[in-house]
Structure 1
Amino acid sequence: MKADLVFVNGEVVTIDQKNRVVESVAVKENQIIAVGSNSETRQYISDETEILDLAGKTLLPGFIDAHLHLTIYGTNLLGVSCIAPHIQSLEDIFTDLRKKCQDTPKGQWVRAWGFKETKLVENRFPTKEELDEISTEHPIVIIRTCNHTSIANSKALEIANISEAADNPEGGIIERNQDGSLTGKLIENAHMQLFQFASYSNDELRKGMRLASDEFIKAGITSVHDAGAYGEGAETFRVMQEAVKSSDIKVRVFAIIGSLTNSHDFVKKMVDAGPISGLGDDRFRIGPAKLFTDGSSVGPTIATREPYSHNPEDCGIIYYSQEELNLILGDAHKKGFQITAHAQGDRAIEMLLNCIEKALAEHPREDHRHRIEHAGIASFDLQERMKQLGVVVIPNPVFMYVNGDRYIEYYGDRVNVMYPARDYINKGIIAAFGSDAPVTFLDPLLGIHAAVNRKSSDGYSVGETQCIEVIEAIRAYTWNGAYASFEENSKGSIEVGKLADLVVLNDSILSVNKSEIKNMKVELTMIDGEVLYDTNLFLEKMKIALPRFPQNHTKE
């Protein structure tokens, strides 16, 4: 067998059982056919084989982001960005919203995303009245970066049937002024329910999915675990399948059965329909059934066992009672689903572990790989239960980089057990990293940087005892993600017989200063043996002729 493509002279981080670092990889069609030294892969070269000289750069398995929101990430790109470089104030946002209104037919939604009040000179939310000054003929909504809170104008509230007489939904808050009038701010489930009315058209969904897929590939992400979107979950799920089939979405998708709007309805619909987790192929596969149990770590609205450090009167928001959680996810487990939930605070994590324990006691199942999305404050007693129950955890190390200073303020010493990657590795708990994009930055290299350094963007150390090694962080972004979706036999490491999903970096990740990992770049992304992203003409620059092929410079 001769290879179509051979990489040589590289730092090939295999993430196999021995974490071997070798020189060379040979690819035939969509599979890896040889891994080892330059001399070991030479036998797979013919006159037609392309040879790429990595010149010491790192070759990795394609990154697997185990928790992001594909549809939301993509549709955000259709709206007004509050994280654009020129946004420094509310007035900057208002200016962009006015321009968007001018280009949008009256009556259609105008949306802004990525809003973070602490990054603006005013350090506050806009008011409903300020948004009304922009337009009362367009429904306008500004979505906070956490995707758990928004601010809406009068037209948007009217369309969503939110009036002064409206009651707070369970697990949500419709904020009011002292006189009872609406501020326009919607928190947690009130925010989620707005998107029953602010949903996107199918054409917008498809366009957004295509844009998101392209951005993922540029970041070296070859597989994603999609954690759900706003609106009607089943319809978004259908559109996503169509987008994969038509190659609008080129990354591999493990589609979690969850929605930010009425997730329990979507879960029930899918559980009753008959298919179970794992159904599909290597392009699109059905994932676990998922609920929301609590709120945002930076809201803060997560459900904690002890009050927030900055507010002794607040312990967060719970979406479901223990009985409701047990009933909905317990039924999904009984019918063959992998189950999971968004659970950030220790109180929410405890409830989910109670649910999983009860489900397994009533209907035992080997190798269930039930998950916890985020698991923000994972105290030692909860870690022990995770280990005993065989739970897979999906933490978000990049949160420590983006929100670390706020976490210290909100949770005090509890930051030492927030997204505790070191503890998970020491205890043998498999943790697969996710970005939660667009809640925060997509870049897996930034996530690896955050897990290795545990410093905020402002330089604060945030639970530094939880720092892990570079190769451990790479595993959490590759093989562990494959394990979390029952796909570790086909991807997640560079081994013979596995899918040729590969990423080339611009330097050696094992040699670069740890504080500089965040500045590294992806130069090439390959999915299924096809190069889908190639920066700076990497392929042309790195091609070498057969006579120059080195004889033997093994790094094993």
Structure 2
Amino acid sequence: MDIDLILRGRFLTMTDAGTVDAIAVHQGRILAVGPAVEGFTARTERDLGDTTVTPGFIDAHAHSVWFGLTLVELDVAPATTLDELYALVAERAAETPEGEWVIGAGFNQMYLDNQYPDPADLNRASGGRPVWLKHTSGHACVVDQRALEIIGADDHLEDGIEGGRIVVDADGRPTGLLEEQAMTLVQNVMLPYPLARIEEALTTASAHYVTEGLTSITDAGIAGGWIGHSPQEFNAYQNVADRGDLVTRHQVMPESSVLTEHGEAGRDGHFLGIDAGIRSGLGDERLQVGPAKFFLDGSILGATARLSEEYNHCAGSHGYFQGDPDEMRDRALAAARAGWSIAMHALGDEAVELAIGIAKTLRDEGVEPPLPLRIEHGGVVLPEQVERLAAVNLPIVGQPYFLSAYGDGMRRFLGDKRAEWSFRMKSMLEAGLTVALTSDRPVAQGAPLRIMQSAIERTTQSGHLYGGGERLTAHEALAAYTSGPAALTGWAGQKGVLAAGALADLTVLSADPTAVPTGEIGDIEVVATIVGGVAVHDPSGLIGS
């Protein structure tokens, strides 16, 4: 049989077959591996030399629209002082027409010695233009004096905002910091983004992903809430895919606010969901509707994740839930009963506990979602919660690079005791849960090899070992970027492995990440990326056409 492609080299299959020396590809899927390849001839055959080939990397929690937008917005992350921040704003403002907003991304007070810009100083730097700086966590933003006037912040001070906060100074004046749901005040003015801009962001993000060996990504929240940029975001995905510019496979999570009540409560036909009864699982291997994203709490970086014990250096503060816990629980259960898988954003241990309770209720009721239930992040997971997570088969999708980038700051907020229970991975594996390493990009950088290295080392910028008992081996870390996320996104056996019948998604590396010294993993070169048997990143021409 004359097939499309035979590749020869060194292949880490991430299956019981171990390492093989050849694979056969036909019509976008792997036809055979190892000795079984010898029964075929191919129109194209390539020897990959000294490279190492793994299944294509899968990021089960990123934000593609958001990431693509940050590539064109003002990046304020390089600023290490307030003066440097104001200078960056002034530079961008000089290129911005009068009256238009200066929009920046990557703000993190930890880079600025825990200082926040003054709204009046920001306004002077912008030449009177409104300024909107998005926090790198996605759970807060900073605006200037003019923006505070435009969004009417003063009008909301007396009643407050449920699930969010307009931060004020000692005199009761807004400081420009908006937390969680308070960010909707800005979004109500600025959104929705034009469809063409979202399409450009997706095209840019997808093109970047393949340079890092990524072949599949889950966009963890679109179309609604503070995480969405337009109710037409899925339309943008379809348009980009139809043009052939979505070179990576995507699964998307609608944010839970887009799910609405349909029909009369208590009557046949009543459900919580999207018009026409669309639910998780719709689509194909190129573009699929994933779980609904439910935000239960905030972030550790912003001290808004809901903890059972107060934050260090924040006396009396436990963070907060995104809404009334009972109401959030009821909505999540209703969505799952209507056929939606649910992904629950929970960083603090109290939010994790709420998620466990939701999952237990569904398991007890015999509700089987079309895709696996999951928790996003798990910033603090108590020892006794690990066993309960396993009992209800509720895996946590974690971000080990947070420890490399923000671990010193998180440790100050949490203290050493809770740091040992933070972003746990080894404990999850030992409890029998599937583990996926993810980026949460653009909250942190998203190169998979650097994230794998972080999961193995778990060291902060100061060199502190952050939860050393949770370190993974190199093989475990590779599995957590291939076969693990494939299972957690509902594609076990079809993605994340090199096996007959699986999609022909491969990452070609200059070295074996399971064999080099740990400190070198992040510097391994991505030689080529193959999606469906087609080289979508091949700067050296190794694969060819």
Matched, 1:70 2:64: yes
Residue 445 (structure 2) pairs with residue 441 (structure 1): yes
2:329 partner SS: helix
- 1:58 aligns to what? 52
Tell me, which stretches of 5 or more residues in structure 2 are unaligned? 263-271
Alignment gaps of 5+ in structure 1: 544-556
Structure 1 counterpart of 2:267:
none
The equivalent residue for 1:515 is 519
TM-score, structure 2 normalization: 0.91
Q: Where does residue 174 of structure 1 map in the other structure?
A: 166
Match of 2:478, SS?
helix
Whether the 8 Å contact between 1:148 and 1:192 is mirrored in structure 2 is no
- Hey, what does 1:546 align to over in structure 2? none
Match of 1:554 in 2: none
Please say if 1:480 is aligned against 2:484.
yes
- For 1:267 and 1:449, the matched residues in 2 are separated by 42
Structure 1 distance, partners of 2:511, 2:38, is 24
Aligned partners of 1:358 and 1:271: how far apart in 2? 19
Aligned length: 528
Q: Which residue of 1 aligns with 2:352?
A: 349
Indicate whether 1:212 and 2:214 are aligned: no
Aligned to 2:235: 238
Once the two structures are overlaid, the 10-residue window that deviates more, 327-336 or 477-486, is: 477-486
Confirm or deny: 8 A CA contact 1:136 1:155 kept in the other structure: no
Match of 1:375 in 2: 378
Q: Aligned AA for 1:219? A: E
CA shift at 1:193, angstroms? 4.3
Give the Å deviation of 1:196: 2.7
Provide the rounded CA distance (Å) in 2 between the counterparts of 1:254 and 1:366.
16
Offset at residue 538 of structure 1 (A): 3.7
Pick one of 332, 337, 343 that aligns with 1:329. Answer: 332
Are the structure 2 counterparts of residues 252 and 324 from structure 1 closer, same or farther at C-alpha, using a change threshold of 3 Å? same
Tell me which stretches of 4 or more aligned residues in structure 1 moved more than 6 Å: none
Deviations 1:407-463 (A, max 9, x none): 322222122221211111111111222110000011111111111111123321011
Matches within 5 A, 1:120-135: 120=112, 123-135=114-126
CA contact (8 A) 1:71 1:228 kept: no
Query: Higher relative contact order at CA 8 Å, sep ≥6: structure 1 or structure 2?
Result: 1
Tell me by how many angstroms 1:313 deviates: 1.8
SS at match of 2:232: helix
Structure 1 residues 138 and 244, CA, compared in 2 at 3 Å: closer, same or farther?
A: farther
Normalised by the length of structure 1, the TM-score is 0.90
User: Equivalences for 1:301-450 in 2 at 5 Å?
Assistant: 301-362=304-365, 364-365=367-368, 369-411=372-414, 412-450=416-454
Residue in structure 2 matching 1:254, options 251, 256, 259: 251
CA distance in 2, matches of 1:399, 1:473: 15
Q: Which residue of 1 aligns with 2:268?
A: none
Amino acid at match of 2:45: E
Partner of 2:21: 23
SS at match of 2:278: coil
Equivalent of residue 150 in structure 2, options 159, 179, 204: 159
- Aligned-pair RMSD on alpha carbons? 2.2
User: Which amino acid is the alignment partner of residue 501 of structure 1?
Assistant: D
Alignment partners' CA distance in 1, 2:260 and 2:421: 30
The 10-residue stretch of structure 1 (371-380 or 137-146) with the greater mean CA deviation from structure 2 = 137-146
Percent identity, aligned pairs only, is 28
CA distance in 2, matches of 1:165, 1:332: 31
Letter in 2 for 1:67: H
Distance 1:158 1:267, change over 3 A: farther
The question of whether the paired residues in 2 share the 8 Å contact of 1:480 and 1:492 is answered with: yes
> d(CA) in 2 for partners of 1:206 and 1:272?
22
